[in-house]
Amino acid sequence: MCGLLGLLAARGGALFDDALFDAQFDEALACARHRGPDGTGTWRDPDIALGVNRLAVADTPPRPTHHGGRYTVVLDGTIHNERALRNELVRRQGAALATGGAADVVAAAFHRWGPAALGRLRGTFAFLIWDARERVLFGARDPFGVKPLYVATGPGGAAFASEKKSLLRLAPALGLVNPHTDVDPAALQYYLLLQYVPEPATLHRAVQRVESGTYFTLRPGGEIEFERYFVPTFHAGAAAGTGSGSAAGLHYRIASVLRDSVATRMRTDAPVGAFLSGGLDSTAIAALAKEHDPGLVAFTAGFERPGYTETDLAAETADEIGVKHVVRTVTPDEMTAALPLIVWYLDDPVADPALVPLWFIAREARKHVKVVLSGEGADELFGGYTIYREPLSLAPFERVPGALRGLLGRASTHLPEGLRGKDLLRRGALPLEQRYYGNARIFRDDQLAGVLRQYDPRRSHTDLTAPLYAESAGWDPVSRMQYIDLFTWLRGDILVKADRMSMANSLELRLPFLDPEVFAVASGLPAAQKLGRRETSRGITKYALRQALRGVVPDHVLHRRTLGFPVPIRHWLRDEIYPWARAVVRDSQADHLVDLAAVQRMLDAHRDGPVDHSRRIWTLLVFLIWHGIFVEERITPTPMPEKPHSGPLPP
């Protein structure tokens, strides 16, 4: 894993002869040093400057990689089938590979197969390849968007980086004036709606993201040309195959491909651990990893508030599968003290409270290992969210004439907030394309209008989801919801917090569920293999995955609901952290964007109860801290002091 940086100049070499540029480039690269603290290297030619920070999990040099005298590569990520690709390229294609690194394999694969090489890479990655012969830059992100890649353009050229803060530092070289103060009001409105900024936007108008599953080409002084190479298509029924056709055969295939995915991710020169929440996904990964490392260590975060921790259950699970177990308990004071630093690492606000314990447990894990496995992606691929059962519960509404459904929806608006059945009526009156836009729904339109200074009623979640629904027309409702989540919730929230919180602690995160081979099986599951059959599966999710993992995970884990890393912000905002939250609002200079008086009223109403505004308040607080860091430059995050581990590792 690494942090990469590249600048392709619009007018060539004069820029790179400037000592001021050298200082700016080095400073921009240093911004992401946490992504690769084991070495830094830079390289340039008359048109391009490239840099990389390296996290050493294999014996490769900490500098841009050169291949065949033609290509120079900077890579952030891991190619898990590197060994197989290397053998094919050397033995069948006659490639000469100068180094043992994955970047050399990527360059050789690109030389042999062009953009089609991306379909052969089994891993998580973002990379840049400079072709010195053709004078063209090629870059790409992995299919699901685990690794980030930001881009900014200006009169001076185009820059790419693993972290946005690096590009903000390169603004003078790009010819951009004060880009940090130019906040995109549309991106802010979507953030308050979703709790994350949807790709390809960022809150800074000058910086965008290369989207997941996308590559680009760029020549000096030209326009960037983007092309999507991976479309995660669901085709229900294909996974069962035409041979066995049995459910048992399907479940065997799932277990087999997942076991292989874990095995490929255990190949490293560095020690490997696993995150463990005690639920199905993380337990499966830890149990399968234990097959390759009997001394595997699992890590869990929790809180001291009843109902908001899974540490006891995780400890029980760790004991049953036979792995060592480390627990990190997080206090309210630690959370508020760390939040500015966490937001700085994020680059853009993500208001998922779970990223706070994730940061702490990644920090704890880094004391023991350099690589960690985790279970992200299982819910999106195998149908794990309870909301995916909504089409079943709303099925009776499908038989109601359209006019009457609309009448029921309008009637729901007159019912008191919190009344049982109000939201069921409202959602039942809407077609799937209007009611579902992902797992996070923070502010309603009427609530946005009351807090957002530049609220635009013409903006809607359908701006983001309508093209995705059009692409998935004709699929079953659950597959369409999964498709929406792959392009919104997964890459906007889940993978952002996973990558940023692990790399903030110089920890490489590997995600066995987000593997092309695993997706190939999961994408063909019929609805009954995701949610079970209606008459026998009340409340069931990930049915096929649960069946596939029988004998791999303990029986008590197979059917229990996972809390993940829940955070008691609802309670804390009424008590322990209320004074801190009030101070964040009071000190903010973002009143031109957000009505701070309205935020304070919301905070007080939440404290006094009974209305629960905690998720909306948290979303606003994270934005205000972000604004204080990146726009006002009033808040300067400082590193947290180390907290010693509570004791030695279990035997």
CATH of the domain at 213: 3.60.20.10
For residue 436, what are its two tokens? 């579902």
- Nearest partner of 326 among 579, 648, 110, 565, judged by Cα: 648
pLDDT tens digits for range 283-337: 999 999 999 999 999 999 988 877 777 788 889 999 999 999 999 999 999 999 9
Is residue 31 part of the annotated active site? The answer reads: no
Are the C-beta atoms of 93 and 112 separated by less than 8 Å? yes
For residue 309, what are its two tokens? 């921790």
Look at residues 228, 253, 286 and tell me which one is the last residue of a structural domain. Answer: 228
Cis peptide before 610 (omega within 30 of 0): yes
Number of domains in the chain: 3
Supply the CATH number for residue 504's domain: 3.40.50.620
Specify the residue for token string 């059009």. Answer: 470
Whole-angstrom distance, CA of residue 543 vs CA of residue 478? 13
2 membership: H or E segment, kind and range = strand 2-9
Q: How many CA atoms lie within 13 A of 142 on its CB side?
A: 26
User: What residues contact residue 473 under an 8 Å CB cut-off, 6+ apart?
Assistant: none
Pairing state between β 324-329 and 297-302: parallel
Specify the residue for token string 């549309």. Answer: 186
Q: Mark whether 210 and 113 lie in a shared domain.
A: yes
- Nearest partner of 522 among 505, 536, 543, 539, judged by Cα: 543
How confident is the model at residue 240, as a pLDDT? 46
Pairing state between β 48-54 and 40-44: antiparallel
Q: Mark whether 51 and 142 lie in a shared domain.
A: yes
Q: Any idea of the CA torsion for 278, 283, 289, 291, to the nearest 10 degrees?
A: 110
Beta partners for residue 66, in sequence order: 72
Q: Mark whether 528 and 613 lie in a shared domain.
A: no
Active site residue: 2, 15, 159, 494, which one? Answer: 2
For residue 121, what are its two tokens? 């890479």
Specify the residue for token string 């990689």. Answer: 65
How confident is the model at residue 649, as a pLDDT? 58
DSSP letter (8 states) at residue 177:
-
User: What residues contact residue 447 under an 8 Å CB cut-off, 6+ apart?
Assistant: 616
Whole-angstrom distance, CA of residue 82 vs CA of residue 22? 34
DSSP letter (8 states) at residue 533:
-
How confident is the model at residue 278, as a pLDDT? 83
359 membership: H or E segment, kind and range = helix 355-365
- What count of residues does the chain have? 651
Whole-angstrom distance, CA of residue 340 vs CA of residue 354? 15
275 membership: H or E segment, kind and range = strand 272-275
Examine residue 412 and state whether it is found in any structural domain, yes or no: no
How confident is the model at residue 535, as a pLDDT? 44
Q: Mark whether 292 and 366 lie in a shared domain.
A: yes
Q: Mark whether 222 and 265 lie in a shared domain.
A: no
- Nearest partner of 410 among 396, 429, 394, 393, judged by Cα: 429
User: What residues contact residue 353 under an 8 Å CB cut-off, 6+ apart?
Assistant: 566, 567, 569, 618
Are the C-beta atoms of 51 and 41 separated by less than 8 Å? yes
Q: Mark whether 171 and 269 lie in a shared domain.
A: no
Domain that holds residue 108: 2-228
Whole-angstrom distance, CA of residue 377 vs CA of residue 364? 23
How confident is the model at residue 61, as a pLDDT? 60
- Nearest partner of 358 among 487, 493, 266, judged by Cα: 493
Measure CA 93 to chain center. 35
For residue 85, what are its two tokens? 């690709």
Whole-angstrom distance, CA of residue 376 vs CA of residue 494? 7
Whole-angstrom distance, CA of residue 190 vs CA of residue 440? 11
Examine residue 433 and state whether it is found in any structural domain, yes or no: no
DSSP letter (8 states) at residue 35:
G
Examine residue 436 and state whether it is found in any structural domain, yes or no: no
Look at residues 531, 558, 585 and tell me which one is the last residue of a structural domain. Answer: 558
Helix orientation angle between 614-630 and 332-346, rounded to the nearest 10 degrees: 50
Helix orientation angle between 280-290 and 247-265, rounded to the nearest 10 degrees: 60
Dihedral sign of CA atoms 271, 276, 280, 283 in order:
positive
Q: Mark whether 301 and 260 lie in a shared domain.
A: yes
Position 220: which residue type? P
Are the C-beta atoms of 281 and 275 separated by less than 8 Å? no
For residue 294, what are its two tokens? 């009997």
Whole-angstrom distance, CA of residue 156 vs CA of residue 69? 27
Are the C-beta atoms of 530 and 541 separated by less than 8 Å? yes
Examine residue 468 and state whether it is found in any structural domain, yes or no: no
Specify the residue for token string 């070499």. Answer: 13
Q: Mark whether 20 and 147 lie in a shared domain.
A: yes
For residue 92, what are its two tokens? 């069948």
Q: Mark whether 90 and 163 lie in a shared domain.
A: yes
**Spans of the chain, pLDDT less than 70:** 1, 12-14, 58-62, 93, 98-100, 237-245, 402, 406, 408-409, 412, 414-415, 417-422, 533-539, 561-565, 642-651
For residue 216, what are its two tokens? 């680009």
Look at residues 195, 228, 261 and tell me which one is the last residue of a structural domain. Answer: 228
Examine residue 136 and state whether it is found in any structural domain, yes or no: yes
For residue 65, what are its two tokens? 């990689």
Please work out, in degrees rounded to the nearest 5, the angle formed at the alpha carbon of residue 29 by the alpha carbons of 4 and 139. Answer: 25
Are the C-beta atoms of 70 and 45 separated by less than 8 Å? no
Whole-angstrom distance, CA of residue 239 vs CA of residue 247? 10
pLDDT tens digits for range 73-108: 999 999 999 889 988 998 876 777 766 688 899 999
Q: Mark whether 250 and 335 lie in a shared domain.
A: yes
Beta partners for residue 48, in sequence order: 8
Examine residue 305 and state whether it is found in any structural domain, yes or no: yes
SS3 content of the chain, % helix, strand, coil (to 5): 45, 15, 40
Examine residue 212 and state whether it is found in any structural domain, yes or no: yes
Q: Mark whether 208 and 334 lie in a shared domain.
A: no
Beta partners for residue 44, in sequence order: 49
How confident is the model at residue 241, as a pLDDT? 46
- Nearest partner of 394 among 508, 478, 482, judged by Cα: 478
Cα-Cα end-to-end distance for the chain: 30
Whole-angstrom distance, CA of residue 505 vs CA of residue 487? 26
For residue 489, what are its two tokens? 């919730």
Examine residue 288 and state whether it is found in any structural domain, yes or no: yes
Q: Mark whether 26 and 69 lie in a shared domain.
A: yes
Beta partners for residue 572, in sequence order: none
How confident is the model at residue 562, as a pLDDT? 60
